[in-house]
Amino acid sequence: MTSDPASLASPSKTNLQETQELHRLLVDVVRDYAIFMLSPSGIVTTWNVGAERIKGYQAQEIIGQHFSCFYTAEDIQVGKPEQELELAQATNGFEQEGWRVRKDGSKFWASILITPIYNSDEILIGFSKVTRDLTERKQAEASVKELRDIKFALDQSTIVAITNKQGVITYVNEAFCRISKYSSQELIGNTHRIINSSHHPLEFFKQMWAIIGHGFVWKDEIKNRAKDGSYYWVDTTIVPFLDDSGKPLQYIAIRHDITNRKQVEEELRSSLKEIADIKFALDQSTIVAMTDRKGDITYVNEAFCRISKYSEQELIGQNHRIINSGYHPHEFFVDMWKSIADGKVWKNEIKNRAKDGSYYWVDTTIVPFLDPQTGKPYQYVAIRHDITSRKTLELELEQAKEVAESANKKKSQFLTNMSHELRTPLNAVISYSQMMKQGIAGEITEKQYKYANNIEVSGKHLLDMVNDILDIAKIEAGKIQLSFQPFQLRLLLLELQDIFIGMAEQKHVQLDFNLDPAFGTITADPIRIRQIFFNLISNAIKFNRENGKVNVKVFPSQDKRWLIGEIKDTGIGISADKLDELFTEFYQVDSSMSRQHEGTGLGLALTKHLVKLHGGDIFVISEKDVGSTFSFQIPLGF
């Protein structure tokens, strides 16, 4: 079709001519190669189908044209076409690759073979030129290289694994081994179950398989478990590779290590939650307000609104003067501002006034928030607790105390006065009854003597009672003063022994005194110490039985810092439920028995007061019908 029409039409054909003809026909139909002839000067003389396809020219367009039109402008500029013909002659045919231009001006990468053709006389009659379009191959090569580069980059940056359609691992890259701490031998042939952390529910992987099994890409974050038991998080993309029917052949899993991000996320989440929890707890329990540097309210919580009875809108933008009760002096707030503006936390109790005019007390802590640059406060957070009920109680208590104090004072005053007033006539009653007994007022009968004696005994009892009352009143009014002086405890105890020996004999009670010989002189109030022993010993005898025992023991404590007095009896004892009240004024365990003993119910109360005044204490151990032990201790070494 593109060959010489004249020679085809020739009627007489030699064998050679026939072969040439066949050859030409063959060349004509080759599609993948452009095969054509050039004249010695480079004019195109033949053109095949391949040439037409590759270069885009029809035979009639190109035959007769110079072949330099196949070259790029730059190549033409440097005389490449001519050079190549010369080179072909010199080398008897040469091959090269380079850019060539199609009819439409587009370039393609070509492999070219130019061969010089000589006739039998060895005269150059032209050139054959075979050109192949290598663009596709070149592109394929480029894309193979590109793929190789991408794979390299992927391997460097990414955790890659390939599994077959059953999920069995067929390939893992280095990054996969590094993060999972398994070797590729350990991984290949296994499924991904080997790195399952059990963090995700079964459903998670079921869904994944459903998606990739249908040929879709799946993406999510997975927590995996490395060989050493440590956990890591990977952002995972699984891409199914499909066969022609669209069924997955294998899966490629691409992962990125997001363990750090996950950790930060987790920490952030938990600290955010913590902050939210703290804020919630604070808001529930606490009255919170925030102010700016100037003291203008920028935030109040619900509790603040509830107690102040103002709405949030009414408070924001105001300063705390809105709830000022006028209770605190001006300096109170001046001092507060001084310390918080200085960056110091301030704490105090404030009385505030609610919108409805009612007052409330808040225990207030103001925390300044400092600007890290200037170190100066840029806002203040005030945290308050409602202490109104406590404050009210405190105030009531204070008032009650004041009332009680003044009542007590009056009582003491009354008792003191009364005792003094009573003592004078009582002393008169006693002296006159004594005088009557002595017969100073004239001879008296036995009966009269007995009556006078009764008057004297009763009078003395009353006087004892008045004296005790006077003592207690004095102690309560804080008017009793101990007069400390050194004295011989031994002498004091001997004196007491003399006093009580008669009484004990009368009751058939055995009275023993045991004084630790280490004791010499001690310093205390001798009159009051005597009173303490007197009361306890007289009780021990009084509340005893026929043939009972009383043992008085005085010894120092182990550390020598205390004097211990112990008065032990085998008397009637005191039941446990009565012990607590024993030391209160006018308390008597069994009034009929006590009356029988003419007690006042003041002795133990006074004794305790006196021990306490000395800086000591008193205790009792007792068992009903068995006996009692009263021990007191007072500090030594005044």
> Residue numbers of the site for ligand ADP (CB under 6 A)?
535, 539-540, 543, 569, 571-574, 582, 587-590, 594, 599-605, 628
* 526-542 vs 603-613: helix crossing angle, rounded to 10: 150
Least distance to ligand ADP from the beta carbon of 282, Å?
56
CB neighbours (10 Å) of residue 365?
Answer: 15
* Token representation of residue 7: 């020679």
Tokens 């899966």, residue located: 251
The span from the CA of 559 to the CA of 70, in Å, is 124
Q: Which is nearer to ligand ADP, 543 or 632 (CB)?
A: 543
Least distance to ligand ADP from the beta carbon of 277, Å?
59
Least distance to ligand ADP from the beta carbon of 573, Å?
6
Q: Which is nearer to ligand ADP, 116 or 573 (CB)?
A: 573
3-class SS letters over 184-220: HHHHCCCEHHHHECCCCCHHHHHHHHHHHHCCCCEEE
Residue nearest to ligand ADP (CB): 599
The span from the CA of 515 to the CA of 375, in Å, is 72
Where b means 16+ CB within 10 Å and e means fewer, 386-402 reads bbbeebeeeeeeeeeee
The span from the CA of 403 to the CA of 399, in Å, is 6
Which one-letter amino acid corresponds to residue 5? P
Least distance to ligand ADP from the beta carbon of 579, Å?
10
Least distance to ligand ADP from the beta carbon of 542, Å?
6
Q: Which is nearer to ligand ADP, 258 or 589 (CB)?
A: 589
Q: What is the DSSP letter of 618?
A: E
Which one-letter amino acid corresponds to residue 31? R
Q: What is the CA radius of gyration of the chain?
A: 61
Collapse the DSSP code of 477 into the 3-class scheme (helix H, G, I; strand E, B; otherwise coil) and give the result. Answer: coil
Least distance to ligand ADP from the beta carbon of 536, Å?
7
Whether the CB-CB separation of 610 and 532 falls below 8 Å is answered with yes
* Token representation of residue 264: 């930060």
Collapse the DSSP code of 226 into the 3-class scheme (helix H, G, I; strand E, B; otherwise coil) and give the result. Answer: coil
The span from the CA of 278 to the CA of 271, in Å, is 10
Least distance to ligand ADP from the beta carbon of 479, Å?
21
Q: Which is nearer to ligand ADP, 566 or 569 (CB)?
A: 569
Least distance to ligand ADP from the beta carbon of 430, Å?
19
